[in-house]
């Protein structure tokens, strides 16, 4: 080897190790042949086409786009800040084939062996880089070619989970069945949870309500780009359940969101729920406690934000876990806050009057028959024999019943036992049926009704009443009292036959969702969790039709072919054997629209009738003035009793 060759060889040995540290740009993603591809002005998205198999072996197809980024990763300097849109990359192809990571969250393991609990657990890894949305686009068959030039209505789902858990890609939120059965585009979205989404320090570094701002940015992304996916940007309906319903109602009353959607569906929740929003003073105290727990106390402003940036995400989740009070019924450590900005309300009166309500659109709102039983499972498990065998009734003695009742009533977290006792006695008197025996069944029934009414049913009903009562009183430039949205109310009463929870829980909180999404038709869900019967598939088909009708027109009675469900007292019924889904599904080629099951007319909820539809596998019925006596008790009489008890105990009434 010559001199120069030796020199070059030595230089190569010295340089070679450094080359391994040179970053290599990833190769451009290439969309596989045959995969759906949608071009927008922020990038091109490559999804996947999948086939949906229905009863009778009929098939439909859907294009699925998982993990479309709608915001920059909320990490580093963007942690606890409002979301920032991603940089547009119109020439880049993005892989939209993989389900996105779930946002960092608390993982509950109390009933980890139960399919009923596992179905709500994240099914993808946890990450702070989680601000993605997912889209299901139905592929119209040849018989419906005439509809290909028509833009499809869009339904944007906001999941629940107490604002500290959940994911947009749970199996129960699979949008393929609702999308292809009803020819609608379904969108689900992630948003930051727990302290990442709702820590509040009342400054620009940690402004609060980051999770709501996430949702707003995702909804805006849909508004701006859904036309490219064959969606109609003028027909966007938000729908959500529990904390998701609170979120939907927040967008209804926040001027920051009004221009991005048309109609709204609230399932089992509203901003009137005592757990749904928090006063700024209380949220600030709670947030400062967490700041101390993660080791950033004594700092402020930029220094505090810099300290919070350095902490691991696990440290925030661990601190939050300590802030969940096991002695309180339905403890949510970080809900949205009345910040005066996203929620521009500074006093309870303007909030109660929905002063900044969206000035157009329609609202569907409803509840389940036994909302409270799901939370009794978790609230009571720590102090009864129920922990060993959940098939037993949760309260075995009168003493246990009153102890549990104290929990359900103590939403302030800090009331004295001597103060709670008269309130518990008064509430017990209101709900007691003296023709019933004084036993475990009666106590369980009363606890469930009390927790359902106070936590879910009455706040939901109150919100509906506030919507339809807006013409009362003088008009105001801000309150827009002249605007009364068309409102529809429901109660879901069916308990899934194979639900893996004890029988006493009945129609639990959250278990209407599977019917809205068409999950009774999902073989994947059946294999992982539990199965459904033919009557339940029929119920799901009807509910999907109502929800999609509402998304199309703002009226659940207007079918896809433009015809109205007749408003007769006894609508025609069909045998299960004649059901289009149990036997076969056909399409009317002349109208390019699917046939539908017989439906009952859904009467509008108004100030006079307060009519509502009862959703069940049996023939659907109607009702009026839901829970009127009970909600009057919680709205008017219980606060008076609480003030009297506080006065007698020498405690100043709490101000929220």
* Euclidean distance between CA atoms 368 and 352, whole angstroms: 23
In three-state form (DSSP H/G/I as H, E/B as E, the rest C), the secondary structure along 210-279 is HHHHHHHHHHHHHHHHHHHHCEEEEEEEEEEECHHHHHHHHHHCCCCCHHHCCEEEEECCCCCCCCCCEC
Neighbour count for residue 583 (Cβ, 10 Å):
12
Closest CA to 163 of 83, 102, 246: 246
CB 137 within 8 A of CB 477: no
Instruction: Report which secondary-structure segment, H or E, holds 351.
Output: helix 348-352
Q: Is the dihedral of CA 111, 112, 113, 119 positive or negative?
A: positive
Q: Are 366 and 491 in contact (CB under 8 A)?
A: yes
Whether the Cβ atoms of residue 89 and residue 43 lie closer than 8 Å to each other: yes
Cα separation of 196 and 202, whole Å?
A: 15
Q: Which of 278, 353, 371, 449 is catalytic?
A: 371
Q: Note the maximum CA span of the chain.
A: 109
Q: How far apart are CA 436 and CA 438, in angstroms?
A: 6
Owner of token pair 């999950």:
519
Residue of 225, 251, 506, 509 marked catalytic: 509
Q: Are 132 and 70 in contact (CB under 8 A)?
A: yes
What residue has token string 């506080």? Answer: 646
Q: How far apart are CA 181 and CA 253, in angstroms?
A: 32
- For this structure, is 436 an active site residue? no
Tell me the pairing of strands 185-189 and 132-139: antiparallel
Cross-strand bridge partners of residue 135: 65, 187
Q: Backbone dihedral region of 114: left (phi > 0), alpha (psi from -120 to 50 degrees) or beta?
A: beta
Q: How far apart are CA 449 and CA 505, in angstroms?
A: 11
Contact 191, 215 (CB under 8 A): yes
DSSP string, 419-456: HHHHHHHHHHHHH--TTS-SSHHHHHHHHHHHHHIIII
Q: Which residues contact 83 (CB under 8 A, 6 or more apart)?
A: 70, 71, 72, 74, 131, 210, 213, 214, 217
Based on the residue annotation, tell me whether 371 is a catalytic residue of this protein: yes
Active site includes 567?
no
Q: How far apart are the first and last CA of the chain?
A: 86
Characterize the bridge pairing of strands 593-594 and 587-588: antiparallel
Query: What does the alpha-carbon distance between residue 280 and residue 296 come to, in Å, rounded to a whole number?
Result: 20
Annotated catalytic residue within 162, 242, 257, 479:
242
Residue-wise burial string across 349-372, b where 16 or more C-beta atoms lie within 10 A, e elsewhere: ebbebbbbbbeebbbbbbbbbbbb
**Measured distance CA(586)–CA(55) in Å, rounded:** 12
Centre a 10 Å sphere on the Cβ of residue 133 and count the other Cβ atoms it contains: 25
DSSP annotation of 171 reads: G
Going across the sheet that includes 37-40, the strands are 37-40, 43-46, 93-95
Residues with catalytic function? 242, 371, 509
């Amino acid at each position: 080897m010559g001199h120069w060759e030796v020199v070059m060889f030595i230089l190569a040995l010295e340089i070679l190790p450094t080359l391994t540290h040179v970053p290599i740009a990833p190769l451009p993603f290439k969309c596989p042949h045959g995969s759906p591809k949608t071009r927008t002005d922020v990038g091109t998205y490559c999804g996947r086409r999948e086939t949906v198999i229905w009863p009778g072996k009929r098939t439909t197809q859907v294009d699925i786009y998982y993990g479309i980024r709608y915001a920059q990763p909320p990490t580093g300097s963007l942690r606890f800040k409002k979301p920032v849109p991603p940089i547009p990359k119109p020439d880049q192809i993005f892989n939209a084939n993989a389900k996105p990571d779930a946002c960092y969250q608390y993982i509950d393991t109390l009933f980890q062996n139960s399919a009923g609990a596992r179905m709500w657990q994240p099914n993808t890894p946890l990450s702070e880089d989680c601000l993605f949305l997912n889209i299901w686009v139905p592929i119209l068959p040849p018989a419906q070619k005439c509809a290909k030039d028509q833009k499809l209505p869009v339904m944007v789902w906001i999941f629940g989970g107490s604002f500290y858990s959940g994911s947009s890609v749970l199996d129960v939120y699979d949008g393929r069945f609702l999308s292809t059965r009803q020819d609608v585009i379904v969108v689900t979205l992630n948003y930051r949870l727990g302290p990442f989404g709702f820590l509040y320090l009342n400054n620009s570094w940690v402004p609060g309500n980051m999770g709501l701002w996430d949702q707003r940015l995702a909804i805006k992304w849909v508004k701006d780009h859904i036309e490219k996916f064959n969606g109609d940007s003028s027909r966007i309906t938000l729908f959500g359940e529990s904390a998701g319903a609170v979120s939907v109602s927040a967008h209804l009353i926040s001027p920051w969101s009004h221009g991005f959607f048309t109609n709204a569906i609230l399932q089992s929740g509203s901003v009137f729920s005592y757990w749904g929003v928090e006063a700024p003073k209380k949220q600030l105290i709670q947030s400062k406690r967490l700041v101390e727990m993660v080791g950033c106390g004594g700092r402020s402003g930029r220094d505090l934000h810099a300290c919070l940036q350095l902490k691991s995400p696990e440290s925030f989740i661990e601190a939050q876990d300590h802030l969940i009070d096991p002695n309180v019924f339905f403890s949510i450590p970080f809900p949205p806050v009345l910040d005066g900005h996203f929620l521009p309300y500074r006093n309870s009166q303007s909030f109660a009057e929905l002063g900044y309500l969206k000035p157009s659109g329609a609202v569907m709102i409803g509840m389940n028959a036994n909302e409270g039983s799901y939370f009794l499972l978790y609230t009571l498990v720590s102090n009864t024999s129920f922990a060993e065998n959940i098939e037993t009734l949760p309260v075995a003695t009168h003493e246990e019943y009153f102890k549990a009742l104290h929990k359900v009533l103590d939403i302030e977290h800090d009331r004295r036992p001597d103060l709670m006792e008269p309130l518990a006695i008064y509430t017990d008197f209101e709900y007691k049926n003296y023709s019933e025996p004084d036993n475990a069944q009666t106590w369980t029934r009363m606890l469930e009704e009390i927790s359902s009414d106070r936590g879910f049913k009455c706040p939901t009903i109150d919100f509906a009443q506030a919507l339809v009562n807006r013409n009362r009183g003088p008009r105001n430039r801000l309150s827009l009292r002249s605007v009364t949205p068309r409102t529809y109310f429901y109660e879901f009463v069916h308990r899934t036959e194979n639900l893996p929870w004890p029988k006493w829980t009945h129609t639990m909180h959250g278990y209407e969702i599977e019917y809205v999404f068409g999950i009774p038709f999902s073989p994947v869900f059946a294999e992982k969790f539990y199965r459904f019967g033919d009557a339940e598939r029929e119920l799901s088909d009807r509910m999907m039709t109502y929800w999609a009708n509402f998304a199309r027109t703002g009226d659940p009675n207007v079918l896809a072919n433009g015809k109205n469900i007749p408003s007769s007292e006894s609508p025609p019924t069909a045998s299960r054997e004649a059901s289009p889904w149990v036997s076969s599904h056909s399409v009317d080629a002349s109208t390019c629209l699917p046939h539908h099951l017989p439906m009952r007319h859904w009467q509008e909820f108004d100030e006079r009738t307060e009519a509502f539809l009862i959703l069940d596998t049996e023939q659907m019925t109607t009702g009026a003035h839901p829970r009127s006596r009970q909600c009057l008790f919680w709205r008017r009489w219980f606060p008076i009793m609480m003030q009297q008890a506080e006065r007698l105990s020498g405690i100043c009434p709490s101000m929220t």
